Structure 1
Amino acid sequence: MDDARPEWEPEIDVSAAWAAELFGGRFAHVAPLATGWDNTVFLADGTWVLRFPRRRIAVPGVEREIALLPRLAAVLPLPVPVPEIVGRPSDAFPWPFFGARLLPGRELAESGLPDALRTPAAASVGSFLRALHAPDLAAALGARLPVDPFRRGDPSVRAPMARERLDRLASRGLYEPDAAVADLLAAGARSGPSDARLVVAHGDLHMRHLLVGPDGRAAGVIDWGDLCRADAAVDLSLAYAGFQGAARDALLAAYGPVSPATELRARVAAVSLCATLAEYAAATGRARLRDESLAGLRRSVS
């Protein structure tokens, strides 16, 4: 990683005033809500979420969200954003963007929900992933989706990347090297490509993208820019990064059987995601996300 240019640095950084202008002044109040690597998000009039790509690499993902989220919303058991107001590329802004109704809830990463109280959310995630990964959905939508473009389901790719990030975190005193994590990554690096069937996958399902309500129940799944076809392990990584003990058992019971090979790939993907999030959070001053990501590393090998 080039320290002079972080991976998440925006190519276009939309302001609240610019966002309001691009939506034609239809909203009385537009305020920043969240930022990530690829998108900037605003809250409009307390009920709408306005989503803009920050980097060109995110544009195909926004186009898939606009095209496919209405279809997914109709068949999934948890709410997902539905683009209702779509902005097309123009001289005013070169990429597509959209507005969707606000989903209630907070990111799991920001919720402070203790592990012991995560079982209801976990069970809902298991049912959600069972529906998302259903063969008939892959048959209906698969031809419109890329195949795991970032190779998140290939532990021989993700394990070395995770080791590099963990080394950087350790050098900053943010991570105490863990033999169990090292052993898992070594096993992942030795494994071959998966021959599992491909499913419709969220593609980037982690603690920021699962919303939970005040009662601790799952309230929605957001940020579908990495929607793709992939090994189910890519999404099942959340079972290991976000949950443990009874909560993880509830998720897997609702989802269905997971083979040892899929579990290995999911655990490696979980470590890779948590290392990435921890590094990003530390660099951008997001203490809760940093702590949740480091906890996710421990859960991933529990």
Structure 2
Amino acid sequence: MEFSGGWDSRAVLVDGHWVERSPRSPEAAGSLRREAVLMPWLAPRLPLPVPVPEIVGADPLVVRHELVPGEPLDESGEASESIGRLLGLFLRALHGVPVDEAVRHGLQPAAEARREHEDLLDRFRAEVVPLLPADYRTAASALLATASGLPFDTVVHGDLGPEHVLTDGASPTGVIDFGDAHAGDPAIDLAWALNGAAPPFARAVAAAYRPSGGDLDRALTWHRLGPWHEVLHGIDTGTPAYVRSGLDGVLGRLTGGCAAS
């Protein structure tokens, strides 16, 4: 059985127990190889189950890990506050992992992650800003200027959303998809949880994590950047629907507020 397709890799369930993933691009192959080095070291340091992939095929590249049980999070459910609290504690543990040690065990280093981030911001300026209505472009450019000064000093998941938090309905059962893990800004992992999730869930995450005012500000910046990726994905894949929905998200979030404040 193939899982719903991710942008970077394909994932197939084998024998009801194993997840096999293969890259869709050379860049994604590099991320999968990093995961296979990093996650065996990182997993024991975290309070929730995470995938621990190993390389089972080199050409073409295939990695395999045990299925992490559970269903994608519904943060509006009855157990949302208790799940939010445990996710906040998970993020505190992840962000407390020594970054230098993690880099030695395969984490993408800060200099490389920062360079990729700045290259992405350049693409946003060149390819997304011109697609926006003229009266939004000043605010959009100011957002990108703010985003160029963010820190890169912490072990982060890098792509945390409700589809990557698994639960049994009552409690979290694991966090998946560490393909974007890097030495980066801890606020990137708070972006959805504090600004895109249901308010009771967001408040529970914040109460457990205890973000600073600076964390809150940067999390909102990352949240506002989220739909920009969808626009580029639509451009790169020739999918106008992604471009349109991404632009709608860019415009909506430029003026949106913070759910956890």
Q: Mark yes or no: TM-score above 0.5.
A: yes
Question: Residue 199 of structure 2 aligns with which residue?
Answer: 245
- Give the deviation of 1:69 after TM superposition: 0.8
- Give the deviation of 1:270 after TM superposition: 1.4
Q: Partners of 2:45 and 2:91 in 1: how far apart? A: 11
Q: Is structure 2 residue 102 aligned with structure 1 residue 141? A: yes
SS in 1 for 2:162: coil
Q: Report the RMSD for the aligned CA atoms in angstroms.
A: 4.0
- Give the deviation of 1:301 after TM superposition: 3.9
Q: Which moved more, 1:233-242 or 1:123-132?
A: 233-242
Q: 1:97-176 maps to which residues of 2 (within 5 A)?
A: 97-108=62-73, 111=74, 113-114=75-76, 118-134=80-96, 136-143=97-104, 144-147=106-109, 149=112, 151=114, 158=121, 161=124
- Give the deviation of 1:43 after TM superposition: 0.8
Instruction: Identify, as 1 or 2, the structure richer in helix.
Output: 2
- Give the deviation of 1:40 after TM superposition: 0.2
Q: Partners of 1:98 and 1:71 in 2: how far apart? A: 16
Q: Report the identity percentage.
A: 29
Aligned with residue 184 of structure 2, among 230, 233, 255: 230
Q: 1:16-27 maps to which residues of 2 (within 5 A)?
A: none
Question: Residue 174 of structure 2 aligns with which residue?
Answer: 220
Question: Residue 273 of structure 1 aligns with which residue?
Answer: 226
- Give the deviation of 1:263 after TM superposition: 2.3
Query: Which amino acid counterpart does residue 85 of structure 2 have in structure 1?
Result: A
- Gaps (5+ residues) in structure 2? none
Q: Partners of 1:212 and 1:274 in 2: how far apart? A: 25
- Gaps (5+ residues) in structure 1? 1-30, 172-178
The answer to whether the 8 A contact 1:244-1:299 is kept is: no
Aligned with residue 39 of structure 2, among 56, 69, 87: 69
Change in 2 beyond 3 A, CA 1:79/1:192? closer
Question: Residue 206 of structure 1 aligns with which residue?
Answer: 161
Query: Which amino acid counterpart does residue 102 of structure 2 have in structure 1?
Result: L
Q: Partners of 1:101 and 1:64 in 2: how far apart? A: 17
Change in 2 beyond 3 A, CA 1:57/1:280? closer
Query: Which amino acid counterpart does residue 12 of structure 2 have in structure 1?
Result: F
The answer to whether the 8 A contact 2:194-2:202 is kept is: yes
Question: Residue 50 of structure 1 aligns with which residue?
Answer: 20
Question: Residue 32 of structure 1 aligns with which residue?
Answer: 2
Structure 1, residues 7-43: CA drift from partner, whole Å, max 9, x if none?
Answer: xxxxxxxxxxxxxxxxxxxxxxxx2123111100001
- Give the deviation of 1:60 after TM superposition: 1.5
The answer to whether the 8 A contact 1:154-1:194 is kept is: no
Q: Partners of 2:194 and 2:116 in 1: how far apart? A: 14
Structure 1, residues 217-268: CA drift from partner, whole Å, max 9, x if none?
Answer: 32211111111101112222132344243322221221123233x3222212
- Give the deviation of 1:280 after TM superposition: 6.1
Question: Residue 56 of structure 2 aligns with which residue?
Answer: 87
TM-score by length of 1: 0.66
